[in-house]
Amino acid sequence: MCLSGEYKTDNSYYSLHCPPLFIVSCCHSVDFYGYMPNHWFVGGEPIPDIIEVQDLEKKFGDIIAVDTISFTVKKGEVFGFLGPNGAGKTSTMKIIACVSPRTSGTITVFGMDPETHPAEIKLRLGVVPQETNLDPDFTCFCNLFTYSRYFDIPPDIAHQRAEELLADELLDFVQLQEKRDVTVEKLSGGMKRRLILARALVNNPDLLILDEPTIGLDPQARHLIWERLKLLQAQGNTIILTTHYLDEAARLCDRLVIMDNGKILVEGTPVDLVKQYVGNEVVEIEKTDEVISCLSKNSIPFEAIGDSVQVATDSSREIAKILFDQCSPHKVLTRPATLEDVFLKLTGRKLKE
Ligand SMILES: Nc1ncnc2c1ncn2[C@@H]1O[C@H](COP(=O)(O)OP(=O)(O)OP(=O)(O)O)[C@@H](O)[C@H]1O
Ligand SMILES: [Mg+2]
């Protein structure tokens, strides 16, 4: 049973048994690869905002899951949400996906309010939820085919054939064609994630909401998904995604926010955030009293984390020279600065403790 408003369970709104709460006439093209954006960079015209969020808040009783956040997502962007467990990423995704009502604040998706126009918005969304919620008894093909039926009525023969073709195209897209007639319960975890991505594309959405799309995938499968997401973006889709993987965020996202405790700490492009908050490089030194007092004596700012000391810098050679000349370091490592360093700088904690 599907209920509007708050969810009964996390999965119920995304479940195959619980399709979008509306019925539409034929709304997708089977010519998936032929899909082209209606608007992209149109001769200097401003790119429209697909999502506009102002002072959004979500409370579960006393818990503030989303704490007055504001952001916008532009058409055609890949926009990321990076943050540790419990940061409020999924809660935010669910509000955008029209499956969880906000406590306060304003939000529009395609210019409409998710609470007053959920059907119109859902028609244009593809969602990969954090939890895997495929129908375990159906084959891969049947999962896609059955889901596509929710978007197509009346089910005449021409439409049925189109949906079969679409299901097969999508299985190709996520490289699961060889598992076409295998039931979901016999798939590996990574294969299930790929099938969920295929399912999210069934209605040829304008906006993809991906909550940890590559969790549990092996490196090769992650690369496949990254490649596919880049392709979808090139075809005009707007994508919002949450991830714990820093390399994924840095590689895929045009812009991202780093969240913690329901708040947005910073927003920007991955490169700019790293440059602005950390610099180009980080020098890591094994923590000893001698190293700490030596860095302090030379007025070099540092962070002590666990058994190491980190110096963010644009001139790692100079820092290394001072260390070797004056500080008797045990181990010194120089590496490029990352979004993890940004998070550390802002919170004093690692993304994954
Ligand atoms: N249905 C719910 N009922 C009560 N509290 C909830 C519910 N959903 C989320 N929360 C709480 O809201 C906070 C934010 O959770 P959320 O799932 O949005 O985090 P997240 O950033 O997605 O974390 P993760 O990286 O672990 O997926 C957490 O404290 C969580 O316990
Ligand atoms: Mg989550």
Given a cut of 90, whether residue 157 has pLDDT beyond it is no
To test the pocket of ligand 1, the residue of 82, 85, 259 to mutate (highest count of ligand atoms within 8 Å of its CB) is: 85
**Any ligand 1 atom below 6 A from CB of 88:** yes
3-class SS letters over 197-253: HHHHCCCCCCEEEEECCCCCCCHHHHHHHHHHHHHHHHCCCEEEEEECCHHHHHHHC
Check residues 270 and 12 and name the one with the higher pLDDT.
Answer: 270
Average pLDDT over residues 87-99: 97
Relative to beta strand 281-286, strand 238-243 is unpaired
Residues 6+ apart with CB under 8 A from 12: 2, 3, 18
Give the closest residue to 125 by CA, choosing from 201, 66, 57, 69.
Answer: 201
Q: Output the pLDDT for position 100.
A: 96
Query: Which residue, by CA, sits nearest to atom 7 of ligand 1?
Result: 60
Q: Output the pLDDT for position 165.
A: 80
Give pLDDT tens digits for 104-127. 999 999 999 999 999 999 999 999
Closest ligand to 82 CA?
1
* Atom number of ligand 1 nearest to Cα 91: 18
For ligand 2, the distance from its centroid to the CA atom of residue 274, given in whole angstroms, is: 24
Give the C-alpha separation, 171 to 180, whole Å.
Answer: 7
Check residues 1 and 121 and name the one with the higher pLDDT.
Answer: 121
For ligand 1, the distance from its centroid to the CA atom of residue 61, given in whole angstroms, is: 12
For ligand 1, the distance from its centroid to the CA atom of residue 273, given in whole angstroms, is: 25
Q: Output the pLDDT for position 347.
A: 84
**Any ligand 1 atom below 6 A from CB of 86:** yes
* Atom number of ligand 1 nearest to Cα 88: 18
State the average pLDDT for the chain: 84
Query: Which residue, by CA, sits nearest to atom 27 of ligand 1?
Result: 85
To test the pocket of ligand 1, the residue of 7, 9, 14, 60 to mutate (highest count of ligand atoms within 8 Å of its CB) is: 60
Check residues 47 and 159 and name the one with the higher pLDDT.
Answer: 47
**Any ligand 1 atom below 6 A from CB of 100:** no
Which CATH code is given to the segment(s) 49-274? 3.40.50.300
Considering only 35-44, 155-164, 189-198, which range has the smallest mean pLDDT?
A: 35-44
Q: Output the pLDDT for position 16.
A: 33
Check residues 151 and 285 and name the one with the higher pLDDT.
Answer: 285
**Any ligand 1 atom below 6 A from CB of 101:** no
**Any ligand 1 atom below 6 A from CB of 85:** yes
Give the C-alpha separation, 176 to 179, whole Å.
Answer: 5
CA 271 to chain centre: 17
Average pLDDT over residues 157-175: 82
Q: Which fold has domain 279-337?
A: Alpha-Beta Plaits (3.30.70)
What percentage of the chain exceeds 70 in pLDDT?
84
Give pLDDT tens digits for 261-300. 999 999 999 999 999 999 999 999 999 999 999 999 999 9
Query: Which residue, by CA, sits nearest to atom 16 of ligand 1?
Result: 88
Given a cut of 50, whether residue 21 has pLDDT beyond it is no
**Any ligand 1 atom below 6 A from CB of 129:** no
Give pLDDT tens digits for 179-223. 999 999 999 989 999 999 999 999 889 999 999 999 888 898 899
- Domain spans in the chain, listed from the N-terminal domain onward: 49-274, 279-337
pLDDT band at 352 (very low <50, low <70, confident <90, very high): low
For ligand 1, the distance from its centroid to the CA atom of residue 242, given in whole angstroms, is: 13
Contact 238, 73 (CB under 8 A): yes
What pTM was computed for the model?
0.83
Helix 157-173 vs helix 140-149: crossing angle, to nearest 10:
130
pLDDT band at 46 (very low <50, low <70, confident <90, very high): confident
Give pLDDT tens digits for 290-335. 999 999 999 999 988 888 899 999 888 899 999 999 988 888 999 9
Give pLDDT tens digits for 126-148. 999 999 889 999 999 999 988 88
Closest ligand to 7 CA?
1
